[in-house]
Amino acid sequence: MGAEAERPARILVADDQPDVLVALHLLLKAEGFDVETADSPAVAIAAASRSRFDVVLMDLNYTRDTTSGAEGLELLGRLRARSAAPDVVVMTAWGTIDLAVEAMRLGARGFVLKPWDNAALVRTLRAQIEERARRREAELEDRGAADRDLALARRVQRQLLPRTCPPLATLEYAGDCREAGAVGGDGYDFLDLGPGNLGLMLTDTSGKGMGAALLMANLQATLRAEFARGGLDLPRRLEAVNALFLASTAPEHYATLFFGCYDDARRRLVYANCGHNPPLVLRADGSCERLPPTAPVMGLMADWTCEEAEVAIAAGDTLVVFSDGVTEAQNAREEEFGEERLVEAVAREALRPVASLPAAILAAVEGFRGTPQADDVTLLVARGR
């Protein structure tokens, strides 16, 4: 950083008049600037593509054949559209001061009148370079703070994932979550509901990024607190969770949720599907059963009621709970992964240990997609034994 701070500021001077280019080059070089010149828009763009400049000092009337300034304004737009765009200071005469106003509107940082005063021109450029340095320093500080906040949020979200899996005699289970960004709005959990009873939860909150992650953390904490009270009255517990979630979030925020209470001795899963994608139960005989919604999404309405349903998980049966990022993942042809491919992926991995099954299925989703991940993908599987 010290070497960068000590280097001379780089200035590109763009003008179609050779005598002007020579005069400005000599002046600015004598003032300690690193100067390059361009006598046409094409040369200026090529120079900006090849090197980074702190400031471009350019004449708006960039051709001898016109005083409209159209070519100069076009060049200004092209320079400002570049990544790591230089600051632009424009030069114009009193007779075309309206061009300078339009240039400022399009992103120029300042303007100098022709004929210029050497001392005033140098002061303008130095002031612009100092302002650019302050702006970049502030951006770096903001970016650093944002990166630290994001890293903290990611650590917190990672800590929300289940760390222990209470052992069961008749069920193996595992989950995996891959966020599209640094943090996401999907989550899953395994709750110890007392001897021989396990809670399995997967939620998908509205939105993306930090906002969705905060929603998910809020909902997950509320669920843990509510079920820690004891008792397995699923509708009553989830109605209380909905009331708390609704009271603590903005009206437009909501979440889908699948929550199941598994009884190890009875091999039964009592569940509520709150507006979530219907999970799949792939039976040992090859048949497939869907678990449709039993309640609306959470967080949108105060008058919210929930029903429960029940399903048996026999030896060899596999429960698959997934977020919409799994089945809605698209390839380059805009084809969705879909439930059918999900069922096929589970069937292909039938002999794989459950602990590694979610990762294997999500790898199949990623291989199908072949494009950057657009949504969080989360998968929870449980297999009867």
Strands, E, within the chain: which ranges? Answer: 10-14, 34-38, 55-59, 87-93, 110-114, 171-178, 186-192, 197-205, 255-263, 268-274, 280-282, 288-290, 309-312, 318-322, 377-384
* Helix ranges restricted to H, 228-356: 234-248, 324-327, 338-348
CATH number assigned to the domain with residue range 2-140, chosen from the 4 options 3.40.50.300, 3.40.50.2300, 3.40.50.150, 3.40.50.360: 3.40.50.2300
Q: What is the rounded CA–CA span in Å between residue 129 and residue 140?
A: 16
Per-residue confidence (pLDDT) for residue 202, from 0 to 100: 95
Structural tokens at position 330: 């698209």
CA distance 332 to 309: 38
- Based on the number of CB atoms within 10 Å of its own CB, is 228 exposed (0-12), middle (13-18) or buried (19 or more)? exposed
Task: Read off the amino acid at residue 62.
Answer: Y
- Where in the sequence of the chain do the CATH 3.60.40.10 domains occur? 161-384
Which pLDDT value is given to residue 180? 75
Phi, psi of 196 (to 5 degrees): 75, 10
CATH topology of domain 161-384: Phosphatase 2c; domain 1 (3.60.40)
pLDDT of residue 69: 59
Give me the chain's average pLDDT, please. Answer: 85
Give SS3 for 163. Answer: coil
Residue range 109-145, pLDDT digits in tens: 888 888 889 998 999 899 888 888 888 877 776 666 6
pTM of the model: 0.61
pLDDT score at 251:
80
CB 64 within 8 A of CB 16: yes
Residue range(s) of every CATH 3.40.50.2300 domain in the chain = 2-140
